[in-house]
Structure 1
Amino acid sequence: MARAVTPRRKALNTLIAWTIGLILFFPILWIFILSFKSEGAAILSPLEVLRAPWTLESYQIVQGRSDYFGHFTNSVVISLGSTLLGLLVAVPAAWAMAFVPSARTKDILMWMLSTKMLPAVGVLYPIYLMFISLHLLDTRIGLVIVLMLINLPIIIWMLYTYFREIPGEILEAARMDGAGLREEVLHVLTPMALPGLASTVLLNVILAWNEAFWTLKLTAAKAGPLTAFIASYSSPEGLFYAKLSAASVMAIAPILVMGWFSQKQLVRGLTFGAVK
């Protein structure tokens, strides 16, 4: 029997949730405010910053100095490419671990997850040398491969969780009706796990979009995504807060808009199978 929630308790929970949300959102809000201030006003005290006049000067300078749309295109290609390539590898792997019984499945999953605990700098040197020898340095395809491998454990873990919620009897019935492996995966398994697939795609696009370490180490000018675009405004002469804030807003705005419009699908996919 569900426990009744008093209005006072509900109001308290709402207040706590809004407080935590505002604390988490405040850095983004402050960056947004600084991006509309002049460079001189951006270094003033918070109250003086709020009273300073609003201007588009920083956005005009950033747009005139940098190729924003080139970096934006690189981010789209790299994030979507690495996610789709990861799905091509992860769907068969997750299917095999979910529907082909093995005593080593959990060990394999834990081993894959343990690779995410390895510090990225620990494998930077060999990967950098491989990129030089394979002529992949500062290329989109090189970043697509690296980010796919980085996020592959997460993709497999998520898909494995969703596939495990699908009754195996449905796949057995499809096999009895003459479905081969290709038809079983494409026409039976994939449609049933569509919410999970959608949330997996969205989450990994966000992870690839926000990746900074590898995109800064393996790119220079040609394939630099928006993370490199932001880093270009941190110079030895100092931090230019207004321009850096404007570049940050231009970089995070697309992914924030995508997350806002897809939040319902993302929540549905992340809670897929949580309630029996």
Structure 2
Amino acid sequence: MAREHSPRRKALLTVAAWTAGLLIFFPILWTILTSFKTEAQAIADPPLFLNFDWTLENYAAVQERSDYMRFLWNSIVISGASTLLGVLIAVPAAWSMAFVPSKRTKDILLWMLSTKMLPAVGVLYPIYLIFIELGLLDTRAGLTVVIMLINLPIIVWMLYTYFREIPVDILEAARMDGADLRAEILYVLAPMALPGIASTVLLNVILAWNEAFWTLNLTAANAAPLTAFIASYSSPEGLFYAKLSAASTMAIAPILILGWFSQKQLVRGLTFGAVK
């Protein structure tokens, strides 16, 4: 039986949730507000919150200096392609771990997760040399593969968790009806795990979109995504906070909009199988 909370407790929980949400969102809000200030107002002391002269000159200057659409297109291609490739590899891998009994499954999953603990800088040099030899440096294809490999353990772990919640009897019934492995995955497993797959896709698009270390070290101009677009406004002459904020706002706006419209699906997928 679910516990009933008193009105006072509900109010306290609501206030605590809103407070935590505002604290997390405040840096983003401040960045957006700063993007509409002049450079002098951006460094004013005390800081100006809303009482400043709103201007769009920073966005005009950013667009004039940089080709925003090219950076945006690179981010879309790299994040979308790396996620799609990762899901295509992770679905059969997670299926085999979830439905083919093995004493080594947990060890394999733990080993995959342990690769996320490796400092990225520790493998930068060999990967950089491999990219030079293969001609993948500053290419979207090279970044797609690297980011896919970085996020693959997370994709496999999430899909494995969702697949484990699906009764194996349903898959056995499909096999008895003559379904081969391809049909079992495409027409039985995938539709039942669709909320989990969707949340996995959304989360990994966000992770790929925000990846900065590899994009800054393996690109120069041609394949540079929005993370490099933001970094280009940190110059030896100093930081131009208003223009940097405008560039940051333009970089995070697409993923914020995606997260806003897909939040229900993301929450539903992340809680998939948690309550029976």
TM-score interval (norm. to shorter):
over 0.9
* Most deviating of 43-52 and 89-98: 43-52
Change (3 A) 1:46 1:158: farther
Q: Unaligned regions of 5+ residues in structure 2, if any?
A: none
- Superposition deviation, residue 118 in structure 1: 0.4
- Tell me if 1:260 matches 2:263: no
Q: Which one-letter code corresponds to 1:59 in the other structure?
A: Y
Aligned match of 1:273 = 273
- Superposition deviation, residue 39 in structure 1: 1.0
Contact persistence 1:37–1:49 (CA under 8 A): no
Aligned positions, number: 276
- Superposition deviation, residue 40 in structure 1: 1.4
User: Distance in 2 between the 1:74 and 1:247 partners?
Assistant: 16
Aligned match of 1:102 = 102
- Superposition deviation, residue 45 in structure 1: 2.2
Secondary structure of the equivalent of 1:40? helix
- Superposition deviation, residue 3 in structure 1: 2.6
**1:114-158 Cα shifts (integer Å, max 9, x gaps):** 000000000000000000000000000000000000000000000
* Most deviating of 238-247 and 40-49: 40-49
Q: Which one-letter code corresponds to 1:234 in the other structure?
A: S
Secondary structure of the equivalent of 1:54? coil
Aligned match of 2:72 = 72
**1:83-128 Cα shifts (integer Å, max 9, x gaps):** 0000111001000000000000000000000000000000000000
Aligned match of 1:220 = 220
Secondary structure of the equivalent of 1:53? coil
Aligned match of 1:171 = 171
Contact persistence 1:41–1:49 (CA under 8 A): no
Q: Unaligned regions of 5+ residues in structure 1, if any?
A: none
Aligned match of 1:211 = 211
Q: Which one-letter code corresponds to 2:193 in the other structure?
A: A
Q: Which one-letter code corresponds to 1:7 in the other structure?
A: P
* Superposition CA RMSD, Å: 0.8
- Superposition deviation, residue 200 in structure 1: 0.4
User: Distance in 2 between the 1:222 and 1:50 partners?
Assistant: 38
Aligned match of 1:191 = 191
Report runs of 4+ in structure 1 exceeding 6 Å deviation: none
User: Distance in 1 between the 2:167 and 2:199 partners?
Assistant: 20
Aligned match of 2:233 = 233
Report percent identity of matched pairs.
77
- Superposition deviation, residue 49 in structure 1: 5.4
Q: Which one-letter code corresponds to 1:230 in the other structure?
A: I
* Most deviating of 4-13 and 115-124: 4-13
User: Distance in 1 between the 2:206 and 2:34 partners?
Assistant: 24
- Superposition deviation, residue 41 in structure 1: 1.1
Q: Which one-letter code corresponds to 1:3 in the other structure?
A: R
Change (3 A) 1:21 1:46: farther
Q: Which one-letter code corresponds to 2:181 in the other structure?
A: L
Aligned match of 1:116 = 116
Contact persistence 1:72–1:226 (CA under 8 A): yes
Contact persistence 1:230–1:251 (CA under 8 A): yes
Aligned match of 2:51 = 51
Q: Which one-letter code corresponds to 1:154 in the other structure?
A: I
Q: Which one-letter code corresponds to 1:221 in the other structure?
A: A
Aligned match of 1:136 = 136
